[in-house]
Amino acid sequence: MTEEDYKNGQVLLIDKPLTWTSFQVVNKLRWEIKQRFNIKKIKVGHAGTLDPLATGLLILCTGKQTKQIDTYQGQIKEYTGTFTIGATTPSYDLETEIDQTFPTAHISEELLKETTQQFVGEIQQKPPIFSAIKKDGKRLYELARKGETTEIKARTVTITEFEITNVNLPEVEFRVVCSKGTYIRSLAYDFGLALKSGAHLSVLRRTKIGNFSVDNALSVDEFIAKVKSE
């Protein structure tokens, strides 16, 4: 691709690596494009954040295509991952340490699969306190890290598919298809409650956004190699 191609607008599919923030991916790719074509400025943005502890599909838009970011953000998403049953964390994932443990002896594969049905359709969900949502001008995770508690309003989200794909307690693998704004960490927490136990998200991978699949995405290193060869 040429400098003009990037400025006119490209949709880039990137497989986000573990521990990277979505912004780190954007900044790295923007820097590589600027270096390759010796340009001072190029717009690059992502269509939907992935947590640092998640991997998978990140859609990046360049140049004029950044105007379409909202279109991609609104599309349905598919995730796969692992819930760890019998313990919760304040962040609902591995960002924080386990704070409570719960019994799991009563949990069978049948109960796990039955319980998924409670979450299919339109549901009310509270975002995690450790999230990037803003309240009174501050991001919730900033308040959470200071130990401040705040009331979070539930929001309506839609889960169209929720299946358990493998059970090896305490680990339970799943696949979810859901609307924009769904927090899989909150789903893990609520799923644990519904099981009369506890749960947190230990692995998360975004596999699809609309018709885009992570199978067609490049790693950051693959993209850098591609840009340098252009």
Active site residue ranges:
51
Among residues 182, 185, 22, the alpha carbon closest in space to that of 93 is found at: 185
User: Count of residues for the chain?
Assistant: 230
- 148 strand-pairing partners: none
Q: What distance in Å separates the CA atoms of residue 177 and residue 76, rounded to the nearest whole number?
A: 7
For 181, left (φ over 0), alpha (ψ -120 to 50), or beta? left
Q: Which amino acid is at 151?
A: E
